[in-house]
């Protein structure tokens, strides 16, 4: 904030208490620029707004009407809703981006002037959410992962970030590409690759989660996540031990049946032999 204070017998220095210029706004939307001040007993002469050094709005209380507009590219002032402490721009386009300065001046005899500024960037939101290509439904240890995350067209370019199981991917695994500029509006498409060889540590409870986060400052935040399975490999020793255990149980049952059968025949053979002896004695 800057200002000039003229020292008289009774000094009153006007101050700007706040100049509010959003850092990011969205194309096609409206924005409110605010300029709050304390006149410290002085009379207000004018409030002026500048974009990149050129005046586009002036408010002078003694004029009728008090508000005036000075046209320039990217500036569409909603005069009916603009006052001494706020100016409404509606709608915004890409050329609305720039440096905005509010200047407040006091009446004679002091003619004090104070000003402050802020930077604003107009954002074009992506026309689609980020998407992942090149992935497979299953991976196993030793496989190579080579995938890309692509954003929709935007301005400025979307910032992409890869996550593996919720943790940011190591920089050495990330492959960066230059944004792709297309169309008359020169919107940008971001692409970010992820390449690594699968290790056992990459699987959590049998799954591996690969997430791509796309963001533009605080105005856009979207993500896409793929959950891939690790291939379930059968362990031969475990299956062998099950087969052996099953065979032993079967053998036990067969041997038990054989013993029962053998004992039964022995008992019946003895009974039959005994009966034949008795029959022979009676015949003699």
Per the domain annotation, does 158 fall within a domain? Answer: yes
Quote the domain boundaries for residue 180: 131-230
Provide the pLDDT for residue 13.
Answer: 83
Whole-number mean pLDDT of the chain? 83
Q: Which of 69, 73, 66, 75 is nearest to 57 (CA)?
A: 69
Q: Which of 119, 52, 117, 59 is nearest to 86 (CA)?
A: 59
| pLDDT, tens digit (0-9, with 9 covering 90-100), for 154-200 | 999 999 999 999 999 999 999 999 999 999 999 999 999 999 999 99
Report the CATH number that the domain containing residue 69 is assigned in CATH: 2.60.40.10
Provide the pLDDT for residue 110.
Answer: 86
Are 102 and 111 contacting, i.e. CB atoms less than 8 angstroms apart? no
Are 16 and 114 contacting, i.e. CB atoms less than 8 angstroms apart? yes
Provide the pLDDT for residue 269.
Answer: 39
Strand ranges inside 60-190, DSSP E = 67-69, 86-89, 98-106, 113-123, 131-133, 138-139, 144-150, 159-164, 167-168, 174-176, 180-182, 187-189
Per the domain annotation, does 193 fall within a domain? Answer: yes
Q: Please tell me whether residues 39 and 57 are part of one structural domain.
A: yes
Are 165 and 202 contacting, i.e. CB atoms less than 8 angstroms apart? yes
Are 115 and 107 contacting, i.e. CB atoms less than 8 angstroms apart? no
Q: Please tell me whether residues 170 and 110 are part of one structural domain.
A: no
Tell me: cis bond preceding 198? Omega within 30 of 0 counts.
no
Provide the pLDDT for residue 232.
Answer: 61
Per the domain annotation, does 144 fall within a domain? Answer: yes
Per the domain annotation, does 202 fall within a domain? Answer: yes
Q: Which of 121, 35, 30, 114 is nearest to 80 (CA)?
A: 30
Per the domain annotation, does 8 fall within a domain? Answer: no
Number of Cβ within 10 Å of residue 44's Cβ equals 17
| pLDDT, tens digit (0-9, with 9 covering 90-100), for 212-241 | 999 999 999 999 999 998 866 544 433 332
Q: Please tell me whether residues 140 and 170 are part of one structural domain.
A: yes
Distance separating alpha carbons of residues 69 and 235, to the nearest angstrom: 79
Provide the pLDDT for residue 11.
Answer: 55
Paired tokens of 272: 């039959």
The per-residue pLDDT string of the chain (284 residues; one tens digit each, 9 = 90 and over) reads 444 454 444 456 899 999 999 999 999 999 999 999 999 999 999 999 999 999 999 999 999 999 999 999 999 999 999 999 999 999 999 999 999 999 999 998 888 999 999 999 999 999 999 999 999 999 999 999 999 999 999 999 999 999 999 999 999 999 999 999 999 999 999 999 999 999 999 999 889 999 999 999 999 999 999 999 886 654 443 333 233 333 343 434 434 444 343 433 343 434 434 343 443 444 43
Q: Please tell me whether residues 153 and 177 are part of one structural domain.
A: yes
Q: Please tell me whether residues 176 and 87 are part of one structural domain.
A: no
Q: Domain count for the chain, please give it.
A: 2
The strand pairing partners of 174, in sequence order, are: 194
Q: Please tell me whether residues 115 and 147 are part of one structural domain.
A: no
């Amino acid at each position: 904030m800057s200002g000039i204070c003229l020292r008289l017998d009774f000094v009153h220095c006007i101050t700007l208490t706040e100049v509010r210029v959003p850092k990011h706004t969205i194309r096609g939307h409206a924005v409110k620029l605010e300029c709050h001040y304390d006149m410290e007993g002085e009379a207000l002469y004018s409030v002026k707004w500048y974009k990149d050094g050129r005046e586009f709005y002036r408010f002078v209380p003694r004029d009728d009407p008090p508000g005036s507009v000075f046209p320039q590219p990217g500036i569409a002032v909603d005069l009916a809703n603009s006052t001494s402490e706020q100016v409404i721009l509606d709608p915004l386009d890409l050329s609305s981006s720039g440096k905005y300065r509010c200047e407040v001046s006091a009446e004679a005899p002091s003619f004090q002037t104070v000003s402050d500024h802020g930077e604003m960037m107009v954002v074009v939101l992506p026309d689609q959410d980020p998407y992942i290509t090149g992935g497979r439904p299953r991976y196993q240890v030793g496989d190579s992962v080579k995938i890309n995350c692509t954003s929709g067209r935007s301005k400025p370019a979307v910032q992409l970030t890869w996550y593996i199981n919720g943790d940011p991917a190591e920089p050495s695994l990330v492959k960066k590409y230059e944004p792709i500029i297309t169309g008359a509006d020169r919107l940008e498409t971001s692409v970010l690759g992820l390449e690594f060889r699968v290790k056992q540590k990459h699987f959590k409870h049998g799954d591996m989660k690969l997430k791509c986060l796309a963001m533009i400052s605080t105005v856009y935040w979207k993500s896409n996540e793929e959950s891939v399975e690790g291939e379930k490999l059968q362990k031969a020793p475990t299956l062998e031990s099950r087969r052996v255990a099953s065979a032993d149980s079967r053998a036990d049952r067969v041997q038990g049946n054989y013993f029962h059968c053998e004992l039964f025949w022995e008992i019946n053979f003895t009974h039959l032999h005994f009966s034949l002896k008795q029959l022979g004695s009676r015949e003699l």
